[in-house]
Amino acid sequence: MFLQSRLPQRDVVAWDWAQQVEAAPWFGIETDPDCRRQLGSAMEIRIGLDVATAPGYWDVLSFLLPEECRALLSSAGYSTDGREDLADTGTTDPLLLGWRRASHPIAYGDDEQAVLTACWDAAGMREVAHGMDAAVQLRRSLLAHIREHMNRAGPLQGPVMTALAHLWDGYLHHGRRRMMKLGDRVVIEPELAYGFGKADLVIGRCLVDVKVVLSPAAFFGRWLDQLLCYVLLDWPNIFSLDSVALYLGWQGMLVHEPLVGLLAASTRGPTLTIADLRAEFWSQIRAEADDSFAARLRNRYPPLADA
């Protein structure tokens, strides 16, 4: 309702994105409908690990076995080497090590099947991980039991792996270069407004969401609203955002729009500023955001029975 009252013509931008997709360089393949959401989440993780200078997604990577997590981060180009000032403490668990970018692999190697499997499994634990406060030992045990129940050992096979490999191939050939051009600073899963909203990526000064949808034309309006709400939630301007973008996995395509042009196209009369929109939006949702923050704290630190 807020966006409709302040930016009533923003559908012009959504329509332009839909037109751009008609010339997409990649193509989608049919998949099991029950797998589509997890496919998108898995590709978000794989792409985030490719563009960032330091790994993230620790909440879900903590479900992977140590050797799987280590192989995933190493294959994504991270290393724990190069710190001569560190004492030899015998620490070996990858969750406890300091990883940083050492290379930028671009080939689809033989080990990529295991890497994509790790991303798939991590993505499948996202809902479980939300609000979960459990030891890593228990997290790994949970995923191991799930695999045992599904009679699955080793990397994924069949249609799911075919879909993941196809998405990754499209990204390497068509999407990667444009994503990298957005900027050097990468923030994985930035939390906005006390965690009231969690975006996918900030690259440079651009807010990026990853979508994996075969026929995206009907969704651009909703996705644009999602991006705009994230921008407005950054009321202290922590990320200095100046543009928004969607990476479309099946299409291997990045659609991008500077905020200045987006606001100019979306309003009648004088163009509104992001600062003014943020201030007004925040005044309307602050009570709800404060309630959300309080609920998160209560979930993390349950009150005493007599409190």
What's the mean per-residue pLDDT of the chain? Answer: 92
* Residue 291 confidence (pLDDT): 84
Q: What is the mean pLDDT of residues 120-147?
A: 92
Total residues found in the chain within this entry = 307
Tokens standing for residue 50: 């490719």
CA distance 60 to 45: 10
Q: Is the pLDDT of residue 271 over 90?
A: no
Q: Are strands 191-192 and 206-211 parallel, antiparallel or unpaired?
A: unpaired
Instruction: Average the pLDDT over 174-199 and give the result.
Output: 90
* HEC assignment per residue over 163-202: HHHHHHHHHHHHHHHHHHCCCCCEEECCEECCCCEECCEE
pLDDT of residue 243 exceeding 60 = yes
Find out whether 45 and 60 touch, Cβ atoms under 8 Å.
yes
Question: Kind of pairing, strands 201-203 and 197-198?
Answer: unpaired
Distances from the Cα of 165 to the Cα of 118, 129, 174, angstroms: 13, 25, 14
pLDDT value for 306 = 65
Average pLDDT over residues 78-86: 83
Least confident range of 23-27, 75-79, 195-199, 270-274: 195-199
Please tell me the predicted confidence (pLDDT) of residue 307. 54
Residue 124 has pLDDT above 70, yes or no: yes
Per-residue pLDDT, 195: 62
Instruction: Quote the pLDDT of residue 109.
Output: 63
Q: Which two tokens stand for residue 35?
A: 């797998």
pTM of whole model > 0.75?
yes
Choose the weakest-confidence range: 97-106, 114-123, 199-208: 97-106
